[in-house]
Chain A
């Protein structure tokens, strides 16, 4: 997708406004040129790139585990009513607990190292896959269950060739939400326990009241988020090209 002249003009206008605001209170609003200078400084002097790489690596590791666990759980509660009745209320409750409320327990269990970050990402993210996968599984059975029965398709063949492909558009929609939530979890996790990464960069900059650096790191986080979402979206479209996207 190429940006239209109009949206480019909009971006230019916003940047110009920001630059103008920066001439009055640079310590408060910073400005595009100051942020750009800061980005270059961070990349040169600081460990911006290794920190970003480390953050993304943790995120991807946790997200992969979370997606596997969450999708499997969602499939099971979507497929077996008994499991849904038994576990769905707890899962719904877990979904609505703010991430921050889980952090103390995670610290007690996992300390403040890499293990803590991974656990936080998994806990915050797996749940976002459960409901799309459960809905997808139910929808898939509703749409194709009778067909499968009429043509005596059952067991693993039913699972792999009917239920899962039918649920895929829902799972893909869940992937996009979950990758964003994974980024949030890892950054917040780093911020809260001071584990080196994007979150701690923001934390340090905040402590020094350095608006330039806060904006610069936030921009980097934004770019990482946008890149991940785009990649997942692209992969999702490849996977379910046969059908318009669904939103959940």
Chain B
């Protein structure tokens, strides 16, 4: 079943003096239910814009995005967004942040907190639920961001370079954690990244975007079965080949862009 259909979507901005800038053009993409798809591309290619369009945070100017067959008009409870800069409320504790999207939706406080605690435990932060964000490391803060997204029990997780602000080691640990959570919950994930390795290690399919206006330049199926083991995947020759192909595509594109 298809979770998300992106049907010939374009996004343009009219700047000062009526100058039109195309951020996205002719995007077609289909994300299967329960699938893990990465959007990969150079900075400024519009991959974050596309992700925000999928959430309904940014309206598209052309085409249509359908979630579960229904055109979207704005953010909805079937989707949850994970921000690159975590976007936690600094005056709230870990528990308070995870409970935040449930307030006004789940009326019983006990029930809200029980749900939040379940996901806080899933991301391994049970001992920190009374801590404030500034007391946590970057990796822990993003765990809170992921728990908050999971708490609304969405069908789809939209993740905008969620590990981009983390150091290399934390980043790898978080990737393994994310795969574990994905396998456990069966959510559909759309994952934006500019790291080829990250995209290949995590996803079943990688959509490579070209530079502005962003288009889908190519899609690559990643043949490794889940659950994945880090060392077996990264050491595999097919991984190296895919990595090489994508790099060539990206380099060629950057080259074409600079001309």
Q: Give B residues with C-beta under 8 Å from A.
A: 55, 57, 75-77, 80-81, 83, 87, 89-92, 100-101, 103-104, 132, 134, 148, 152
Contacts and interface: CB of A to CB of B under 8 A. Distances in A.
Interface string A134-161: 0000000001101101111100010001
Given A144-B89, A146-B87, 7 more contacts: A147-B89, A150-B55, A151-B75, A151-B80, A151-B81, A165-B91, A242-B134
A166 B80 CA distance: 22
Contacts of B89: 144, 147, 162, 165-166
A161 B100 contact: yes
A211 B45 CA distance: 73
Tell me which of A147, A162, A240 has the highest count of chain B C-beta atoms within 10 A of its own C-beta: A147
A240 B132 CA distance: 12
B103 A157 contact: yes
A243 interface: yes
B212 to A, nearest CB: 22
Contacts of A186: none
Contacts of B152: 151
A151 B91 contact: no
A133 interface: no
A122 B196 CA distance: 61
A182 interface: no
A149 B57 contact: yes
B90 A151 contact: no
Interface in A90-149: 143-144, 146-147, 149
Contacts of A153: 100-101, 103-104
A175 interface: no
Contacts, number: 49
A168 interface: yes
Nearest to B102: A151
B57 to A, nearest CB: 6
Q: Is the interface of B mostly helix, strand, loop or mixed?
A: loop
A243 B134 contact: yes
Interface string A157-189: 100011001101000000000000000000000
A166 B75 CA distance: 22
A149 B83 CA distance: 13
A239 B90 CA distance: 13
A237 to B, nearest CB: 13
B77 A242 contact: no
A240 to B, nearest CB: 7
A29 to B, nearest CB: 50
A152 B104 CA distance: 10
A243 B132 CA distance: 9
Contacts of A144: 87, 89
Contacts of A147: 83, 87, 89
A95 B81 CA distance: 42
B255 to A, nearest CB: 34
A243 B103 contact: no
Tell me which of A153, A157, A168, A242 has the highest count of chain B C-beta atoms within 10 A of its own C-beta: A242
Closest CB pairs A-B (n = 4): A151-B101, A150-B81, A242-B91, A147-B87
A241 to B, nearest CB: 9
Given A242-B134, A243-B134, A152 B91 contact: no
A242 B90 CA distance: 7
Contacts of B76: 152
